[in-house]
Chains A and B, each alone.
Chain A
Amino acid sequence: MISIVETFSVDNLTIRIGIENELFTLNEKGFIIPASKIVVKEIIRDITNRSVDVDLLKGLIYGIQWEPHPAQLEIVTQPLDVFSIRKAIEISRKYIAQVAKRKHIKIYSGSAHPVQSNPFPLNGTHVSISIYPRRKRGMPRKFLTYVHNNIRRHIPELIALTANSPIIAGEFSGFMSSRLVYSRVLRPSSYAIIKRSKTTIIPREKRALLKYAFVFADPKKFENKVVVNSAGLRFLDITPRGPFTNIIEDRWTSPGASRVETRFIDNPSSTEYMMDIVYILLGLSLEAIHKLFRNEKIAEPDNLQENRRRAIKYGVDAKFISDGSEIPARECIRNMLDRVAYYLDMLDIKLRTSLARGIPEIKHYGLPQIYVPNEETMNHIKAGRVLMKIELSSKRELITIEGKTRMLREGAKVFGLVFPEYKFSWVENEENMVSRFTKIEIAFWILTQHGYVPLKPNDRILFSISPIGRLVRMFSYVRKKL
């Protein structure tokens, strides 16, 4: 039984939310470019020259940093209350977009680029929630386990609601969230428990090998740790963080850093959607605390991993297994949202987007269109037969590598490597910030030994061959000639 506060009331709780939002830098044609360094340099210049309200930013944002991929930027907010967090995200995104605009760079807020994510690079939004009694300095262990376990048991519903990366490498990947399939840092977490463990022996996983480290400086022999991964990994889809966990990086942090970090959310396209997702997570966290006050157990759900997989694949159209039968994901989501609404009402928060009706962003706006004028050419490329002999349906310009042009007559035959030229259409909900791609148009070119020829849909493919097939022909020719 909780002795700190007797009754559940949000007034007795401190709520802190932090968001890490990863973004891409794009050129004006919508292609990923390694320009995060340029944007960050510009921000540093602004701060040094005081041409931006540094105090305002400092109060809201912990930092803006580049990620390992040179086209990725990350906004990290301070831990803030429920209302300031919206302001922090709005201001920081707007500021980054403005800075990028000065350098003719665009910012893309999606999780995967429709063509250049192959499957990497991938972006995500990490939401950290910390709820603790007003008199405490941080989230106690019990709070951590309850919040973790309650959000975790809703992972399938949350993924179904937020899966937002169905297209990678120019085609539908077959998964509503390609990011969750391919990402190497989103392993499924397990049920959180409080475990009495030795402080001097620290499990450490490095390059998939579990080893142990020893720390002799610690005066205590045993400590109660919140454990969701026996190796103390933090790269999980959801994980408790802070000094009360067995995560090695958090070992010497202060109790104020205790939080539950949710990492499985695909990037929402706009601040509105992002905030709604954050509020749903907050509602689930409050529900967890309420359960704790009622001394109610949060059980490990059956079929969690199978439902998670279904949500990743089918999104909101998935069917979840529950008590041996299949239930539509939409029903589970509505159920979750009804319960969450009760807690959000306490904070006077209303969901503003289609998520309130259980409609994910991707369903609300629809999937991007992929327009290929010549499916046959695309199929040959996908099958690896990129070298083609083509009969031109009309007279055409051949452009040499020096930029000179030469006319090819109708019916001329050209042989070479066929490659696509991509054209994107997109929507910008916020200025200079690409929210989502709406259309991908693909045209084709052929690179011959004499230069480049643009292809048209009516051109006839005489034959196509793979690179190895080309070598076979080459050696067969040599054999014949020798």
Chain B
Amino acid sequence: MVRMQRDVFPSNWMLMIHILRLYKDINHFLQMLETGSIQDVKPLLDNIIGRLKILNTLGGKIPWFFLTFLPLDILIASNERLDDRRFLRKYLLALRNSIEKIIVGRIGSKLLRRKGIHTNLRRLTTIFYVPQGFREIIPGYTYIPGRRPILLTASHAASPGSDINTGFLARRLAIRTRSYALISHVPRLFIDSNRLVGRLLPFRRKLDEILSSRRIRLILDLHSMERDGVWVEIGVWFGLSATKKFVMRLIDILDRHDIPYEISYRFFGGDIIFYHANRPRINAIQLEISNAVRRKYLRRINNALTEYINIVGDIHRRNI
């Protein structure tokens, strides 16, 4: 009899148990680093290493699973960087955050499927790839350095298939508010920088670099949508990518400027939001701005976002 074999991700609870324990151990290690009590750290590290080794034996699909969630920075960095305690802490925080995403991802696999991440069917040969002509698109972005801890991204700013106004808005806001901005020049019809596959692109690498070298507090990922009535849809990965105070402050300002908005369940966030958010240190909000918004109304959005950035980007302000 012919067997219709498919590659199925191990759905056993052993995987989840090991991931939860790994999360606990990494948290413990972080606490030890913060309190400076690292005398008893060796058994803990042995635990972590042992647990990782077990995870590696749980099936052929595990490597891509981790590759989907782990920050590429950690994976490709040299060990020597870990000598710096600051870097070690940063990496551990990023790792802890990725494991949180794995936990949520396993529970909410349907959410991931909506973003094209099929947790049980991916292959490593096609997670990360580039189309022919990759050399010609490097670097493929414009970087505007800033002073405030806010990063504006416009990943779909390039035509054809561009999100209209987003490149312009990111540039303008960056200049007005002295925020950082990253504007992609690679059309999404060539390769989409707001998808899993886009993590390889220089645009996304630069984004990672800015996040690790600057004290970025908030990423505002600008997009556009076809919708009348609502001018702005706010995507926060069902609350997983930004803390409440960042979202509440935004809502408050949009209300005051009389801008119709919605917390989106449709555009809840692309890969930029999912991958780079590291709550509570790095918050990420996706803003979908209606294509119907033009001229003075666009100026109104611009003013509202300027006010928002000025408030949340004030490093001396403790309570945003």
Q: Does B6 contact A (CB under 8 A)?
A: yes
Which of B49, B60, B83 is most buried by chain A, counting CB atoms within 10 A of its CB? Answer: B49
> Closest approach, in angstroms, between the C-beta of B101 and any C-beta of chain A?
14
> Closest approach, in angstroms, between the C-beta of B59 and any C-beta of chain A?
10
- The answer to whether B132 and A29 have CB atoms under 8 Å apart is yes
- The answer to whether B76 and A170 have CB atoms under 8 Å apart is no
A–B pairs, 14, beta carbons within 8 Å: A27-B190, A103-B160, A119-B121, A170-B125, A170-B129, A313-B2, A378-B125, A382-B123, A401-B202, A467-B67, A467-B75, A475-B45, A478-B88, A482-B38
- The answer to whether B4 and A468 have CB atoms under 8 Å apart is no
Which of B4, B83, B123, B126 is most buried by chain A, counting CB atoms within 10 A of its CB? Answer: B126
Q: A29-B131, A306-B2, A402-B202 are in contact. List 7 more A-B contacts (CB 8 A).
A: A118-B118, A169-B123, A381-B124, A419-B129, A447-B205, A471-B52, A474-B91
Q: Which of A105, A310, A415, A475 is close to B2, meaning CB atoms less than 8 Å apart?
A: A310
Q: Does A62 contact B (CB under 8 A)?
A: no
Q: Does B72 contact A (CB under 8 A)?
A: yes
> Closest approach, in angstroms, between the C-beta of A425 and any C-beta of chain B?
10
A479 and B45 in contact, given A34-B188, A419-B130 (Cβ under 8 angstroms): yes
Q: How far is the CA of A419 from the CA of B130 in the complex (A)?
A: 8
A387 and B128 in contact, given A33-B188, A309-B4 (Cβ under 8 angstroms): no
Stretch from B134-142, B144-152, B272-280, B298-306 that touches the partner: B134-142
- The answer to whether B79 and A473 have CB atoms under 8 Å apart is yes
Q: How far is the CA of A468 from the CA of B133 in the complex (A)?
A: 31
- The answer to whether A445 and B134 have CB atoms under 8 Å apart is yes
- The answer to whether A386 and B72 have CB atoms under 8 Å apart is no
Closest to A423 in B: B132
Shortest 8 CB-CB contacts between residues of A and residues of B: A384-B63, A403-B139, A423-B132, A401-B202, A466-B63, A309-B2, A479-B45, A467-B66
A386 and B63 in contact, given A33-B161, A421-B132, A447-B200 (Cβ under 8 angstroms): yes
Q: Does A470 contact B (CB under 8 A)?
A: yes
- Mask of B246-262 contacts with A, CB within 8 angstroms, 1/0: 00000000000000000
Q: Which B residues are in CB contact (< 8 Å) with A479?
A: 41-42, 45-46, 49
- The answer to whether A402 and B52 have CB atoms under 8 Å apart is no
- The answer to whether B131 and A171 have CB atoms under 8 Å apart is no
- Mask of B1-32 contacts with A, CB within 8 angstroms, 1/0: 11011100000000000000000000000000
Residues of A within 8 A of B (CB): 27, 29-31, 33-35, 38, 103-105, 115-116, 118-120, 169-171, 174, 181-182, 306, 309-310, 312-313, 378, 381-387, 399, 401-403, 415-417, 419-424, 445, 447-449, 452, 454, 466-479, 481-482
- Mask of B95-138 contacts with A, CB within 8 angstroms, 1/0: 10000000000000000000000100111111011111111001
Q: Which of A33, A181, A401, A447 is close to B206, meaning CB atoms less than 8 Å apart?
A: A401
- The answer to whether A452 and B131 have CB atoms under 8 Å apart is no
Q: How far is the CA of A468 from the CA of B52 in the complex (A)?
A: 6
Q: Which A residues are in CB contact (< 8 Å) with B130?
A: 419-422, 445
Q: How far is the CA of A27 from the CA of B41 in the complex (A)?
A: 52
Q: Which of A417, A471, A481 is close to B76, meaning CB atoms less than 8 Å apart?
A: A417
Q: Which A residues are in CB contact (< 8 Å) with B192?
A: 34
Q: Does B62 contact A (CB under 8 A)?
A: yes
Closest to A420 in B: B129
- The answer to whether A467 and B49 have CB atoms under 8 Å apart is no
> Closest approach, in angstroms, between the C-beta of B246 and any C-beta of chain A?
28
Q: Which A residues are in CB contact (< 8 Å) with B56?
A: 466, 468-469, 472
Q: Which A residues are in CB contact (< 8 Å) with B263?
A: none
In this complex, how many residues of chain B approach chain A with their Cβ under 8 Å: the count is 65
Q: Does B82 contact A (CB under 8 A)?
A: yes
> Closest approach, in angstroms, between the C-beta of A3 and any C-beta of chain B?
45
- The answer to whether B126 and A306 have CB atoms under 8 Å apart is no
A401 and B134 in contact, given A120-B118, A415-B78, A467-B63 (Cβ under 8 angstroms): no
- The answer to whether B190 and A29 have CB atoms under 8 Å apart is yes
> Closest approach, in angstroms, between the C-beta of A23 and any C-beta of chain B?
16
Q: How far is the CA of A399 from the CA of B77 in the complex (A)?
A: 17
- The answer to whether A31 and B60 have CB atoms under 8 Å apart is no
> Closest approach, in angstroms, between the C-beta of A38 and any C-beta of chain B?
6
Q: How far is the CA of A183 from the CA of B1 in the complex (A)?
A: 21
- The answer to whether B123 and A474 have CB atoms under 8 Å apart is no
Q: Which A residues are in CB contact (< 8 Å) with B62?
A: 384, 466, 468
- The answer to whether B126 and A118 have CB atoms under 8 Å apart is yes
Q: Which A residues are in CB contact (< 8 Å) with B2?
A: 306, 309-310, 312-313
Q: Does B267 contact A (CB under 8 A)?
A: no
> Closest approach, in angstroms, between the C-beta of A145 and any C-beta of chain B?
28
Q: How far is the CA of A387 from the CA of B74 in the complex (A)?
A: 11
Q: Which of A38, A181, A482 is close to B4, meaning CB atoms less than 8 Å apart?
A: A181
- The answer to whether B6 and A181 have CB atoms under 8 Å apart is yes
Q: How far is the CA of A417 from the CA of B167 in the complex (A)?
A: 30
- The answer to whether A381 and B125 have CB atoms under 8 Å apart is yes
Q: How far is the CA of A105 from the CA of B190 in the complex (A)?
A: 11
Q: Which A residues are in CB contact (< 8 Å) with B160?
A: 38, 103-104
> Closest approach, in angstroms, between the C-beta of B12 and any C-beta of chain A?
17
Q: Which B residues are in CB contact (< 8 Å) with A454?
A: 135
- The answer to whether A182 and B6 have CB atoms under 8 Å apart is yes
Q: Which of B46, B78, B200 is close to A449, meaning CB atoms less than 8 Å apart?
A: B78
Q: Which B residues are in CB contact (< 8 Å) with A310?
A: 2
Q: How far is the CA of A181 from the CA of B2 in the complex (A)?
A: 12
Q: How far is the CA of A445 from the CA of B134 in the complex (A)?
A: 10
- The answer to whether A421 and B188 have CB atoms under 8 Å apart is no
Closest to B62 in A: A468
Q: How far is the CA of A383 from the CA of B129 in the complex (A)?
A: 16
Q: Does B53 contact A (CB under 8 A)?
A: yes
CB under 8 Å from chain A, chain B span 199-221? 200, 202, 205-206, 209
Q: Which B residues are in CB contact (< 8 Å) with A468?
A: 52-53, 55-56, 62-63, 66
> Closest approach, in angstroms, between the C-beta of A302 and any C-beta of chain B?
14
Closest to A441 in B: B132
- The answer to whether B46 and A421 have CB atoms under 8 Å apart is no
Q: Does B189 contact A (CB under 8 A)?
A: yes
Q: How far is the CA of A402 from the CA of B62 in the complex (A)?
A: 33
Q: Which A residues are in CB contact (< 8 Å) with B123?
A: 118, 169-171, 382
Q: Which A residues are in CB contact (< 8 Å) with B78?
A: 415, 449
- The answer to whether B4 and A29 have CB atoms under 8 Å apart is no
